[in-house]
Amino acid sequence: YGGMGLDFSYNIAVAEELGNIRCGGIPMAIGVQAGMATPALTRFGSHELKKQFLVPTIAGDFVACLGISEAGAGSDVANIKTMAVRKGDEYVINGGKMWITSGSQADWMCLLANTSQGPPHRNKSLICLPMNLPGIHVAKKIDKLGMRSSDTAQIFFEDVRVPCRNLIGEEGKGFTYQMLQFQEERLWGVATALTPMETIIQETIDYTQQRKVFGQPVLHNQTVHFRLAELATEVELLRSLLHRAVALYVEGNDVTKFASMAKLKAGRLTREVTDSCLQFWGGMGFTSEVLVSRFYRLMSIGGGTDETMLSIICKHMDILPRK
């Protein structure tokens, strides 16, 4: 979007539209490609790196993945253990990554690794890592509760050698670059959840209107239609928070607090909407052919747990100390 002269609000407009796809894994894959694995390279990468990795990724010839999370460090990014040790004009990489979307099919990874023994927020770097190098082992495609069409891989690195010129921006700035991108990732995640929630509420209205119990449509029960009205209100409140955060972000503000609030609310609301609506579908809600049961399994946790969002919000409210 930057190359087209469009601001980040256009990303969010696209994300909301992608919510019309009746499959969570597709917006997830597009989001990783367009808004998670590539922003740091776009902002801070050298011309040569952009030509080698970014151009074919934008063209759709390359699949990109983002290598942040590890088996012992998901939400706690500062705790990653993967090392990239400089030897001559190469980095030698050892360690592993977990929960890597598009990892089984990716042509390259935007890898976050420790490049020194310094403080955890200043010892990390981002590296463009071709996925066909010797020593890269895609261990398995993870079988998940939800997002079942999404390729999620566990990957190990054993003495993987990559040229030092593949470093994105400055050495030691990787954590900072990644935190910038997390704001956008969380806002994207919220946007893709809005339309499915609206769809589920509408489909539940349609189903309960024609489904009769004891001689009257299920929808005519006040418990049912009041609950649907409450949920629709909650979705609109979330949309307003998202659009406020995006407007502030486009103006150049740090929206970590609002993005975290929106992500917290989106995660909880997707569970609340699907759980409430599922009850009104009765036995049909237990089948895989209806959207509500499929969405019920997504349990929106990608991009950080609720508790991580709460901790970030508390730090920005000065309840907890910031690192």
pLDDT in tens, 220-239: 999 999 999 999 999 999 99
Paired residues of 110 in beta bridges: 66, 128
Instruction: Check residue 70 and report its DSSP letter.
Output: B
Integer Cα distance of 134 and 45 in angstroms: 24
Which pairing describes strands 216-217 and 212-213: parallel, antiparallel, or unpaired?
A: antiparallel
Q: Which candidate, 245, 239, 256, 265, places its Cα nearest to that of 317?
A: 256
Alpha-carbon distances, residue 100 vs 19, 136, 199 (angstroms): 21, 13, 28
Q: Where are the domains of the chain?
A: 37-171, 176-317
DSSP, collapsed to helix, strand or coil, labels residue 112 as strand
Query: Domain 176-317 belongs to what architecture?
Result: Up-down Bundle (1.20)
Q: What class is the 37-171 domain? A: mainly beta
pTM of the model: 0.88
Indicate whether 100 pLDDT > 70.
yes
Indicate whether 322 pLDDT > 70.
yes
pLDDT given at position 22: 87
Residue of 171, 184, 185, 198 with catalytic role:
185
Backbone angles phi, psi at 62, to 5 degrees: -115, 145
Alpha-carbon distances, residue 245 vs 181, 209, 306 (angstroms): 14, 36, 18
Per-residue confidence band for 141, with pLDDT thresholds at 50, 70 and 90: confident
Alpha-carbon distances, residue 215 vs 61, 224, 277, 281 (angstroms): 57, 16, 21, 17
* Mean pLDDT of the residues in the chain: 92
Per-residue confidence band for 301, with pLDDT thresholds at 50, 70 and 90: low
Active site residue 185: yes
* Burial class of residue 225 (count of CB atoms within 10 Å of its CB; 0-12, 13-18, 19+): middle
